[in-house]
């Protein structure tokens, strides 16, 4: 059985030793265009591979390995790019592939930022890409049911990771890490997960990280029966599940350190009513990211505000994108004037 191996330990890096952002906001946006092309190509490739696997074919996953290597290379420039690449508004028929891609981005970004061995990061990313393909073996009338499932139906659904492993093992030449991440991503540290109800010490660390990324992607993506929550709310859900013992608290903390409580690309309202977009995290200062105010036309200004250095300003509200654009036309119409650069962290701060 795949789980009959000793689970590796994961050494948590010191919080002050984490990687610092290496790209400016302008460079990050340029980098994003290249990464988005990679994402779009990956969706097509993965869709074809998933179809082959669900039809019982023996598939060479070399193409998927190439996707993972390219994703990994892109994340070396800026791991936090992953939160900008997440597809949140998707059609139901595309959800599985896009969700798996979201989770793989987040897992590899966080693990890479932590300094985990590159091959382990790529193997974990590959496992995240295919962790839900067994779900396609569940009858559509159950898998797509717009209603609560019965106890028997729920038990049937919770066995799908076994189908996943059966499908992946037919491919051959996959690492133990890849298989464990794919099999254990829905286990929970308190033993309430599936398919085997494993407790924390029997779950691979990268599978625990995949569980964190899986929850974040699932709750922030739109579905036909509900709208996704804001990234901020998604982060608070992670904290709640960690406090209940379901998610690994240390890995949730690292996930927060990497992406901040207000992930890059999300929108916020500041204590002076300025509407702004988050462009950089501040490590352990989860509530004090670097932001750029929006102009009255909803576009981003050239001014960067480091809330870690500007103690007089703080985030008071996380905003959905549509509301942020609308509010910026009313709140920011008065304009935000740049002040001289602060000496705290070399950023320009907002005039107060």
> Which domain CATH number covers 250?
1.10.3210.10
Q: Is residue 251 part of a domain?
A: yes
Q: Tell me which of 199, 232, 259 is where a domain ends.
A: 259
Question: Which tokens go with 86?
Answer: 């997440």
Query: CA-to-CA distance for 217 and 71, rounded, in angstroms?
Result: 17
Q: What is the largest CA-CA distance in the chain?
A: 65
Task: Judge if 229 and 294 occupy the same domain.
Answer: no
Task: Judge if 280 and 324 occupy the same domain.
Answer: yes
Q: Is residue 271 part of a domain?
A: yes
Task: Judge if 129 and 212 occupy the same domain.
Answer: yes
Task: Judge if 271 and 250 occupy the same domain.
Answer: no
Task: Judge if 323 and 180 occupy the same domain.
Answer: no
Q: Tell me which of 259, 290, 323 is where a domain ends.
A: 259
- Residue-wise pLDDT tens for the chain (352 aa)? 677 766 777 777 665 545 555 567 777 778 888 888 888 888 888 888 888 888 878 788 888 999 999 999 988 877 878 888 886 655 555 678 888 999 999 999 999 888 899 999 999 999 999 999 998 888 877 877 767 888 888 888 889 999 999 989 888 889 999 999 999 999 999 999 999 999 999 999 999 999 999 999 999 988 767 788 888 999 999 999 999 999 999 999 999 888 888 988 889 999 999 999 998 877 778 899 889 999 888 888 888 899 988 888 999 999 988 888 888 877 655 544 444 333 333 343 433 3
Q: Is residue 325 part of a domain?
A: yes
Query: CA-to-CA distance for 219 and 227, rounded, in angstroms?
Result: 9
Task: Judge if 220 and 182 occupy the same domain.
Answer: yes
Task: Judge if 241 and 288 occupy the same domain.
Answer: no
Q: Is residue 7 part of a domain?
A: no
**Residues 277, 95 contacting (CB under 8 angstroms):** no
Range of the domain at 325: 267-350
Task: Judge if 246 and 216 occupy the same domain.
Answer: yes
**Residues 278, 295 contacting (CB under 8 angstroms):** no
Q: Tell me which of 259, 285, 306 is where a domain ends.
A: 259
Q: Is residue 14 part of a domain?
A: no
Residue 312 burial (C-beta neighbours within 10 Å; 0-12, 13-18, 19+): exposed
**Residues 128, 72 contacting (CB under 8 angstroms):** no
């Amino acid at each position: 059985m795949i789980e009959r191996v000793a689970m590796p330990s994961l050494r948590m890096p010191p919080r002050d030793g984490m990687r610092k952002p290496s790209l400016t906001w302008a460079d990050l946006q340029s980098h994003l265009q290249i990464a988005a092309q990679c994402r779009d190509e990956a969706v097509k490739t993965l869709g074809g591979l998933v179809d082959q696997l669900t039809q019982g074919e023996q598939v060479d996953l070399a193409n998927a390995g190439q996707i993972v290597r390219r994703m990994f290379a892109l994340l070396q420039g800026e791991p936090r790019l992953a939160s900008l690449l997440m597809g949140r508004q998707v059609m139901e028929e595309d959800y599985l592939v896009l969700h798996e891609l979201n989770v793989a981005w987040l897992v590899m970004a966080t693990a890479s930022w932590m300094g985990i061995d590159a091959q382990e990061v790529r193997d974990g990313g590959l496992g995240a890409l295919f962790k839900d393909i067994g779900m396609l073996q569940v009858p559509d009338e159950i898998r797509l049911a717009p209603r609560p499932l019965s106890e028997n139906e729920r038990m049937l659904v919770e066995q799908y990771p076994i189908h996943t492993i059966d499908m992946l093992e037919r491919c051959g030449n996959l690492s133990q890490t890849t298989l464990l991440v794919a099999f254990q991503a829905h286990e929970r540290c308190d033993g309430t997960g599936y398919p085997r109800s494993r407790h924390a010490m029997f779950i691979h660390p990268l599978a625990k990280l995949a569980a964190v990324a899986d929850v974040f992607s699932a709750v922030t993506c739109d579905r036909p029966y509900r709208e996704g929550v804001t990234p901020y709310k998604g982060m608070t859900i992670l904290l709640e599940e960690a406090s209940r013992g379901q998610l690994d608290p240390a890995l949730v903390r690292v996930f927060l350190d990497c992406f901040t409580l207000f992930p890059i690309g999300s929108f916020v309202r500041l204590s002076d009513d300025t509407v702004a977009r988050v462009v950089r995290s501040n490590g352990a200062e989860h509530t004090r990211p670097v932001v750029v105010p929006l102009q009255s036309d909803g576009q981003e200004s050239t001014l960067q505000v480091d809330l870690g250095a500007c103690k007089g300003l703080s985030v008071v509200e996380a905003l959905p994108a549509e509301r942020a654009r609308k509010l910026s036309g009313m709140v920011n119409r008065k304009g935000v004037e740049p002040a001289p650069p602060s000496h705290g962290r070399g950023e320009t701060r907002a005039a107060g």
